Chains A and B, each alone.
Chain A
């Protein structure tokens, strides 16, 4: 009889851990933990009720059904977290997957106790049976609620926790084939099933090191809600309360709290200064945030976004959290996404553009430095329609002053009239941009409604550089000297010596 009591505790503990794991993963990925915990717990308990109700339809072979339920709950519950993490990155329907899984696991867990009670009916008096089983069930819940935050998550992480608990569930199923051997006609078949499930879950637990991102969790201050290694880069998305941050290869790309300052400043001075910005090209910027600003102009007829990484543009076209950030801009019918290397694409295209927005990562290395070279800007100039304008993100004139002015001078050396400006972005610091054109760019006429930062009145002040950011003598960045990468490395090294 004590073997059965142990099983009850294990089953009860596992049942609550599945619920906690789903709720924790949901708040980890979607934020707003109050909502996630409430809805997941509610849905889970309701599904358990459905399971209990359904148990009445199990008429014969109760022991075999109990073992099957244990194996099923172990498999589905065990893989829940992994599936949730993968689904978050892969599908736009994360919540469907979340509540679907919570429902299935809840129904299966709801079946467990009624079936167990029926199996033990003959062995104990009814009042004692109910008292024993239910008290152990609630004790298991206490055990789960203590183990989960104190031991399981800190030591194993979410993915391995749920796989381990799944293993325990299946183990109970396997054990039951001996405990209830007299009630079972097909013990051999059930044992084979259980062993297969154990192998499946055990393999997952061993490979969890790869699935989980916990080595990276130490690198970032906030919780990682998405981490992908694409063919080109490591994409990491973190969240802390309402602040969503995107990192590419460990470099911060935006913080959802203040990115509007950056993207309004990057896009509007160029687009609003153009008399008829019909065809717009965006180089880099696969997050779609620059595109979000561009599609605010009714005059814009087409936006071509060229970003190397299809994973980036796919994520920012489909992931619900990321669509919330860019307003679904990449699905605007005027937008065409091209996944290609910007330098190579620019050399091959025959199209002409009225406005080009250049939003590449900072020149950390020689590969990126090419995208800031005179050769690159010459190619870019050749693609400008008459009156065409360019806007270039140009790192910080405060922290990387020579780098910033090197970009300005390189644009000028390519035959473009360049007007540098700067804005303050709290998560980045003082940030620089260059507005350039075949002819000296005019002042922006009128901005679209609803901007949170830029106004036409305040714009002229952005073009004024105080003495600590003023122009310094620099060389032109060419492919054969890549002087910008040297400036950049030296300047950021001074500020962050550990880099």
Chain B
């Protein structure tokens, strides 16, 4: 590391900040349920949704659309959204997690319906393709990469690349095109978004090797190409090449087609996907309860009991619902669903999670420093363990750039997520702050003095890791089939990787199933 700046002495003395998100502290109470007060009361609802992330909010949104109003969403954190949470300051909204959505393909009709309803899709053109409201498309310039002391347009490390690097990149793209174009007899893709729209079992053998071995076996030795492919894995899955199933690695490149009109541009908002989760939550805004730690879900006479500890009231309340959606990660569901708590299901251990760190930096103006390509939406550092930063004000229509917020992302790939998780959750704000500033000091030597505020969010279990053997394996299938009502499991985990479209699919599909089970409600 060339770290020079960012040492404590150079940090502006006025730099404020804190660790935000109390969820994991509250969540750890789950390990000692005896310390919590016993449940009281017995509120009755038709549907209780445990978890206010994308899956839970999508389920609630879909139920509300179907006319089911008698529902409640229980969320641990102070803001809904899960991995698509966001905040807002005097400057702008800014994300605490997922911050973009690729243009949905034809298979993702649910997501297209959502986008149509919230005005992101304005209509269809003569060929029947969606027409987008340009304001939601990521504005140019979209990406830049800091490499060899300068910023370069785009994400592939082209500067300094040799003929061999370029030839391997071209060959890799062609190979991924092959996977992209593959169709089974019924016209289904091998790699689809949502996953459920793909041909079952297609190329399942890729799940038996890591992406690293996949690349090596095919002669992809270029360090630049491997960096670029690994960057995608770290960014989407939180895992490195060695710990990513080749099936997931290929899915990243082969599951989406470039739009004939818009290319591979994405949809984004200042607050990232928080914009979408806010829209999802709108129809059920009065039904979302925050700061609720669900400690127990169990079938009882006349329904399913959901016991939620309210940290502010220091009380545990019981809700008895006719249907319950466990819209939480599988490792959480395994702890709070009583039958699973008493006899842990075999699939639970296969779900392993990547820790993440997200930092939001408030600045009076765009950061200064290295020359080259101008500030883009996504700004990536080649020699960095982190993923770089996005600019929350990028979508602003103002012609003069003012104060801004940079959202810095770091996933922790590698062999031992549990150890990294412990270290991350033990670290102080000052340690995390210094790590962020040190990393960003290379392109922006003055940044430590320019930052006004730096907040960090730590995710112990940010997303399930699509490890070798897991993505197409038995454990995932078993989890997906484990519950069929009145308790349901709905979460992106069940797809094997964390994507908005997958969580949305599980949430809305579960809502449809509940509507079918409760016909009189709708």
Contacts and interface: CB of A to CB of B under 8 A. Distances in A.
Contacts of A347: 397
Contacts of B262: 480
Interface in A463-498: 478-482, 485
Interface in B390-406: 397-401
A249 to B, nearest CB: 11
Given A365-B374, A366-B374, A479 B137 contact: yes
Interface stretch (A97-105, A318-326, A371-379, A440-448): A371-379
Nearest to B141: A366
Contact of A341 (B137, B142, B397): B397
B263 to A, nearest CB: 8
B268 to A, nearest CB: 10
Contacts of B142: 480
22 contacts: A308-B399, A341-B397, A344-B397, A360-B399, A366-B140, A366-B374, A367-B398, A367-B400, A368-B399, A369-B140, A370-B397, A371-B399, A375-B134, A478-B137, A479-B135, A479-B140, A480-B134, A480-B137, A480-B140, A480-B262, A480-B265, A481-B140
Contacts of B401: 367
Contacts of A481: 140
Interface string B445-474: 000000000000000000000000000000
Interface string B398-430: 111100000000000000000000000000000
Contacts of A163: none
A367 B397 CA distance: 8
Contacts of A360: 399
A480 B139 contact: yes
A367 B140 CA distance: 10
A232 B399 CA distance: 10
Interface of B: 134-135, 137-142, 262, 265, 374, 397-401
Given A341-B400, A366-B140, 19 more contacts: A232-B400, A341-B398, A343-B397, A344-B398, A367-B398, A367-B401, A368-B399, A369-B140, A373-B134, A375-B135, A479-B135, A479-B137, A479-B139, A480-B134, A480-B138, A480-B140, A480-B142, A480-B265, A485-B140
Contacts of A370: 139, 397, 399
Nearest to B375: A366
Contact of A482 (B140, B397, B398): B140
B137 A367 contact: no
A342 interface: yes
A108 B401 CA distance: 50
Interface of A is mostly: helix
Nearest to B139: A479
A274 B399 CA distance: 30
B399 A342 contact: yes
Nearest to A482: B140
A374 B397 CA distance: 13
A232 B142 CA distance: 24
A481 B398 CA distance: 17
B18 to A, nearest CB: 30
10 residue pairs, one from A and one from B, having the closest CB atoms: A482-B140, A480-B137, A343-B397, A479-B139, A375-B134, A341-B398, A479-B134, A367-B399, A480-B265, A232-B400
Contacts of A343: 397-399
A478 B263 CA distance: 13
Contacts of A369: 140
A305 to B, nearest CB: 16
Contacts of B139: 366, 370, 479-480, 482
Contacts of B399: 308, 341-343, 360, 367-368, 370-371
Nearest to B265: A480
Given A365-B374, A366-B139, A370-B139, A478 B134 contact: yes
Contacts of A482: 139-141
A330 to B, nearest CB: 21
